[in-house]
Amino acid sequence: MSDVSMDKVNKVYENGFHAVKDMSLDIADGEFMVLVGPSGCGKTTALRMVAGLEDITSGILRIGGKEVNDETPKERDIAMVFQNYALYPHMTVAQNIGFALKLRKLPKNELDAKVKEAAGILGLTDWLDRKPGQLSGGQRQRVAMGRAIVRQPSVFLMDEPLSNLDAKLRVQMRAEVARIQRQIGVSTIYVTHDQVEAMTMGDRVTVMRDGTLQQVDTPQNLYDSPDNIFVAAFIGSPAQNLYDATVGEGARSIKLGSQDVELPESVVLKRPGLRAYAGKEVVVGMRPEHLRAESSTSTGPKIVGEVDLVESLGSELVVHFTIDAHRVIAEGAVDKDEAAALQSGEGVARVEAKTPVKPGDRVTFSVDIEDMQFFDPKTGLAVRG
Partner 1 sequence: MTTTSSDTEQVPVAAPLVGRPDVNRKRMARLGWGFTTPSLIVIGLVTIFPIVYSVVLSFSAATVTGNGVALNGFTGSNYSLVLSSSKWHYALGFTIIYTLVTVLVELVFGTLIALVLERLTAGRGLMMALLLIPWSMITVINAELWGYIYQGTYGVADAILNAVGLGHPNILGQSTPAIIGLMIADIWKTTPFVAILVLAGLVMLPGDIYEAAEVDGSSGWSTFWRITVPLLRPTLALAVMFRVLQAFGLFDLPYVLTNGGPGTATTSLAILGYNVIFKNLSFGPGAAVATTSALLVLLGCLLSLRTFRVQVGKED
Ligand X SMILES: Nc1ncnc2c1ncn2[C@@H]1O[C@H](COP(=O)(O)OP(=O)(O)O)[C@@H](O)[C@H]1O
Q: Does 90 bind partner 1 (CB under 8 A)?
A: yes
d(CA 18, CA 142): 34
Q: Which is nearer to ligand X, 12 or 184 (CB)?
A: 12
Give the residue, chosen from 27, 49, 80, 256, that forms a contact with partner 1 under the rule CB under 8 A: 80
CA angle 169–174–178, rounded 5-degree value: 150
CA separation (Å) from 258 to 14, 60, 130, 296, 305? 52, 52, 66, 20, 11
Total Cβ atoms within 10 A of residue 133? 9
Determine the Cα–Cα distance for residues 28 and 251; give it in Å rounded to an integer.
Answer: 41
Helix (H, G, I), strand (E, B) or coil at 341: helix
> b/e string for 334-348 if b means 16 or more Cβ within 10 A?
beeeebeebeebbbb
Cβ distance to partner 1 smaller for residue 84 or 343: 84
Amino acid sitting at position 79? A
Contact of 188 with 32, CB cutoff 8 Å: yes
- E strand spans, 131-172: 155-159
296 binds, among Mg ion, partner 1, ligand X, none (CB under 5 to 8 A by kind): none
Q: What share of the chain is helix, strand, coil (3-state, %, to 5)?
A: 30, 30, 35
Residue number, 42 or 301, with CB nearest to ligand X: 42
Shortest Å, Cβ 87 to partner 1: 8
Cα-only R_g, the chain:
24
> 72 or 298: whose CB is closer to partner 1?
72
19 binds, among Mg ion, partner 1, ligand X, none (CB under 5 to 8 A by kind): ligand X
Binding positions for ligand X, rule: CB under 6 A: 13, 15, 17, 19, 37, 39-45
Q: What are phi and psi of 31, to 5 degrees?
A: -80, 150
Q: Give the closest residue to 33 by CA, choosing from 141, 239, 194, 178.
A: 178
Smallest distance from partner 1 to CB 100, Å: 4
Which residue in the set 64, 73, 137, 238 belongs to the binding site for partner 1 (CB under 8 A)?
A: 73
Q: How far is the CB of 21 from Mg ion (least distance, A)?
A: 17
Quote the DSSP letter at residue 250.
G
Site for partner 1 in 300-359 (CB under 8 A): none
Q: What is the DSSP letter of 358?
A: -
Residue 186 C-beta: closest distance to ligand X, Å: 22
Sign of CA dihedral 117, 122, 125, 129: negative
User: Which listed option, ligand X, Mg ion, partner 1, none, makes contact with residue 84 (CB within 5 to 8 Å by class)?
Assistant: partner 1
Q: Which does 87 bind (CB under 5 to 8 A by kind): partner 1, ligand X, Mg ion, none?
A: partner 1
104 binds partner 1 (CB under 8 A): yes
Residue 14 Cβ, how far from ligand X at the closest point, in Å?
A: 6
Q: Does 78 bind partner 1 (CB under 8 A)?
A: yes
Q: How far is the CB of 150 from partner 1 (least distance, A)?
A: 10
Is residue 74 part of the contact set for partner 1 (CB under 8 A)? yes
Q: Which does 17 bind (CB under 5 to 8 A by kind): Mg ion, ligand X, partner 1, none?
A: ligand X
133 touching partner 1, by CB under 8 A: yes
**Residue ranges binding partner 1 (CB under 8 A):** 51, 53, 72-74, 78-80, 82, 84, 86-90, 99-100, 103-104, 131, 133, 147
